[in-house]
């Protein structure tokens, strides 16, 4: 099968991926707004905010690993509709995120300049970055708790609330940035400190919003505050057993980003940090889209496994193939561990990418289900996508594909073996719907020019099959 014909898969993918990607985008935009709005204050201010926001960026990547660990398990239990287990797993993830945030916050409040000096040597930029970090460090706990509660909602297929929460944060941040950075509505201009205060308040606002929704308004998971302290030894063991590789992968990625920023920030060129800020923004945008799609696929597959629909997993896997693209060769082994189709090193040449995509199509064709015909002791396998139609005459069925094959079998046997892309037309014919170009009351015109006679009374049924299939 080239792509799954399960409409619910695509519907769920879009329903989950778009809100997750948009929510990640808006979460990122909160920090981006600081960079953009302090831009009028000069390169030093931009560099200071960029350096100061690096810890938030690294924390966001690491928290994404915790979210992935929660989803791996929680989505499976949601497939079984075991909401108590989902609550316990979400509670474990929230606690891990909380204590991680506490540790990072203490480190940033104790050694802010020493930490930021790893990213740059510019004294003026470091001073502004330290000023920014001393304030925004208090937002880390609120941010981690917010993301933990959002992923609990994602686990039960309610991703939109995360989007709304992030919108609240963005509106607060942009509004307060305008007031505090530039000194509006009677406030004195606060510059970089104003951007930091606006970020802190927006993080608190988004936390209060999701806190009230999850614990007092939501009926689907019906999470209660006391359930944050639920313990389950088996689920805790499973969380770290299956979740640690995900968190470790995100941690490696965070270290990679950390090292990149540190190396580039040490270059002795004017404006390098400002340029790095712009380039990092574009890189983060591509990561956001990928993260939204991967999160959606994780929820769908986890739920499918939990529901016991194992036959669907391989079908979904063929539809969503994996291609790794990176600039760091040491990650090649990770690509093979998850059976990636191919591994591309940056910079990616368009011709190479297109060749890999063509290979993906060919691989899916190889995985296509086949019709097996026994012809005088010889087994012939015909992929479903090659079959245009089958017809029967005098107890002999002819399969029309790239070649025609005739066997003595009942047409009903083939009907039972073929999938939903085929439709029975009258008593003597089965047609592959994807080859139909036009249907009249008396004829069926195929895309290769073949014209088939349509039995009386079959027009309406065939039309319905075409509509349902598409």
pLDDT at 2 over 50: no
pLDDT at 374 over 90: no
Closest CA to 96 of 239, 225, 246, 208: 239
> Ranked by mean pLDDT, which of 25-34, 65-74, 144-153, 160-169 comes out on top?
144-153
Query: Which tops the pLDDT comparison, 247 or 177?
Result: 177
Q: In this predicted model, what pLDDT tens digit does every residue of 381-429 receive, in sequence order?
A: 888 888 999 999 988 999 999 899 999 989 999 998 888 889 999 889 9
Strands 370-375 and 389-393: unpaired
Q: What confidence tier does 338 reach under pLDDT thresholds 50, 70, 90?
A: very low
Same domain, yes or no: 349 and 454 = no
Same domain, yes or no: 338 and 396 = no
451-453 β-sheet, strand order: 436-439, 443-446, 451-453
CA gap 276, 220 in Å, rounded: 43
Confidence (pLDDT) at 339: 46
In a domain, 45, yes or no: yes
In a domain, 119, yes or no: yes
Same domain, yes or no: 227 and 332 = no
Same domain, yes or no: 417 and 444 = yes
Confidence (pLDDT) at 385: 84
pLDDT mean across residues, the chain: 78
Confidence (pLDDT) at 451: 93
Q: What confidence tier does 44 reach under pLDDT thresholds 50, 70, 90?
A: confident
pLDDT at 149 over 50: yes
Query: Which tops the pLDDT comparison, 361 or 125?
Result: 125
| 452 contacts 429 by C-beta, under 8 angstroms | yes
Confidence (pLDDT) at 293: 59
Same domain, yes or no: 331 and 423 = no
* Mean pLDDT of the region 333-360: 57
Same domain, yes or no: 347 and 382 = no
| 195 contacts 34 by C-beta, under 8 angstroms | yes
| 157 contacts 86 by C-beta, under 8 angstroms | no
pLDDT at 4 over 70: no
Domain at 439, CATH number: 2.40.50.1020
Same domain, yes or no: 361 and 425 = no
What would you report as the CA-atom Rg of the chain, rounded to the nearest whole angstrom?
28
Residue with tokens 């390169």: 43
CA gap 447, 260 in Å, rounded: 53
Q: What confidence tier does 1 reach under pLDDT thresholds 50, 70, 90?
A: very low
In a domain, 1, yes or no: no
Query: Which tops the pLDDT comparison, 278 or 164?
Result: 164
Write down how long the chain is.
470
In a domain, 314, yes or no: no
Which of 240-244, 250-254, 418-422 shows the lowest mean pLDDT across its residues? 250-254
* Mean pLDDT of the region 456-463: 88
Q: What confidence tier does 18 reach under pLDDT thresholds 50, 70, 90?
A: low
Query: Which tops the pLDDT comparison, 133 or 320?
Result: 133
In a domain, 311, yes or no: no
In a domain, 407, yes or no: yes
The verdict on whether omega for the bond into residue 330 sits within 30 degrees of 0, i.e. cis, is no
Query: Which tops the pLDDT comparison, 126 or 298?
Result: 126
pLDDT at 271 over 60: no
CA gap 404, 114 in Å, rounded: 75
How is 134-168 classified by DSSP, letter by letter? Answer: HHHTTHHHHHHHHHHHHHHHHHTT-THHHHHHHHH
Query: Which tops the pLDDT comparison, 366 or 335?
Result: 366
CA gap 42, 138 in Å, rounded: 26
pLDDT at 294 over 90: no
| Main-chain dihedrals φ then ψ at residue 170, nearest 5 degrees | -65, -45
Structural domain boundaries enclosing 331: 321-368
Please state the domain count of the chain.
3
> Ranked by mean pLDDT, which of 216-220, 243-247, 290-294, 371-375 comes out on top?
216-220
CA gap 99, 107 in Å, rounded: 12
Same domain, yes or no: 351 and 459 = no
pLDDT at 185 over 70: yes
373: left (phi over 0), alpha (psi -120 to 50) or beta: beta
Q: Establish how many alpha carbons lie within 13 A of residue 234's alpha carbon, considering only the half-sphere containing its beta carbon.
A: 1
In a domain, 313, yes or no: no
Confidence (pLDDT) at 332: 44
58 CB neighbour count, 10 Å cutoff: 19
HEC-encoded secondary structure of 277-340: HHHHHHHHHHHHHHHHHHHHHHHHHHHHHHCCCHHHHHHHHHHCCCEEEECCHHHHHHHHHCCC
| 344 contacts 352 by C-beta, under 8 angstroms | yes
Confidence (pLDDT) at 252: 78
Confidence (pLDDT) at 169: 86
Same domain, yes or no: 269 and 286 = yes
| 50 contacts 276 by C-beta, under 8 angstroms | yes
Task: Enter the tokens of residue 405.
Answer: 């094959």
Same domain, yes or no: 328 and 247 = no
In a domain, 229, yes or no: yes
* Mean pLDDT of the region 145-153: 92
**% of the chain residues with pLDDT over 70:** 69
Query: Which residues on neighbouring strands pair with residue 438, listed in sequence order?
Result: 445
Same domain, yes or no: 240 and 358 = no
Confidence (pLDDT) at 13: 59
CA gap 71, 19 in Å, rounded: 16
Same domain, yes or no: 69 and 207 = yes
Q: What confidence tier does 270 reach under pLDDT thresholds 50, 70, 90?
A: low
């Amino acid at each position: 099968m080239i792509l799954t014909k399960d409409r619910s898969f695509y519907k769920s993918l879009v329903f989950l991926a778009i809100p997750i990607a948009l929510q990640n985008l808006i979460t990122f935009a909160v920090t981006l707004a600081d960079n953009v709005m302090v831009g009028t204050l000069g390169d030093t201010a931009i560099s200071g905010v960029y350096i100061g926001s690096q810890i938030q960026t690294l924390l966001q990547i690491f928290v994404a690993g915790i979210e992935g660990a929660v989803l791996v398990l929680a989505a499976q239990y949601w497939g079984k509709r075991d909401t108590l287990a989902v609550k316990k797993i979400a509670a474990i993830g929230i606690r891990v995120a909380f204590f991680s945030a506490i540790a990072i916050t203490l480190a940033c409040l104790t050694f802010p300049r020493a930490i930021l000096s790893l990213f740059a040597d510019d004294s003026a930029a470091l001073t502004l970055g330290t000023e920014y970090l001393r304030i925004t460090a208090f937002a880390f706990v609120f941010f981690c708790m917010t993301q933990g509660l959002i992923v609990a909602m994602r686990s039960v297929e309610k991703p939109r609330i995360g989007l709304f929460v992030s919108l609240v944060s963005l509106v607060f941040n942009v509004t307060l940035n305008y007031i505090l950075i530039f000194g509006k509505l009677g406030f004195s201009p606060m510059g970089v400190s104003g951007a930091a205060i606006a970020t802190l308040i927006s993080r608190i606002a988004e936390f209060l919003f999701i806190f009230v929704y999850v614990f007092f308004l939501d009926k689907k998971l019906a999470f209660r505050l006391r359930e944050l302290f639920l313990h389950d030894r088996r689920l805790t063991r499973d969380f770290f057993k299956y979740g640690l590789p995900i968190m470790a992968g995100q941690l490696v990625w965070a270290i990679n980003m950390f090292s990149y920023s540190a190396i580039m920030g040490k270059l002795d060129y004017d404006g390098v940090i400002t340029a790095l800020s712009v380039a990092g923004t574009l890189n983060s945008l591509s990561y956001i889209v990928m993260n939204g799609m991967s999160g959606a696929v994780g929820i769908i597959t986890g739920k499918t496994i939990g529901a016991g629909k194992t036959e669907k997993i391989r079908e979904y896997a063929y539809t969503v193939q994996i291609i790794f693209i990176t600039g760091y060769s040491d990650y090649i082994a990770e690509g093979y561990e998850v059976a990636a189709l191919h591994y591309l090193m940056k910079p990616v040449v368009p011709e190479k990418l297109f060749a890999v995509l063509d290979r993906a199509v060919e691989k899916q064709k190889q995985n296509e289900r086949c019709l097996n015909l026994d012809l005088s002791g010889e087994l012939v396998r015909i992929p479903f996508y090659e079959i245009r139609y089958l017809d029967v005459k005098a107890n002999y069925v002819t399969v029309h594909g790239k070649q025609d094959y005739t066997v003595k079998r009942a047409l009903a046997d083939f009907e039972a073996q073929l999938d939903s892309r085929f439709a029975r037309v009258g008593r003597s014919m089965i047609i592959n719907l994807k080859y139909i170009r036009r249907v009249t009351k008396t004829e069926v015109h195929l895309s290769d020019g073949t014209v088939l006679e349509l039995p009386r009374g079959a027009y309406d049924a065939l039309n319905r099959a075409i509509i349902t299939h598409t």
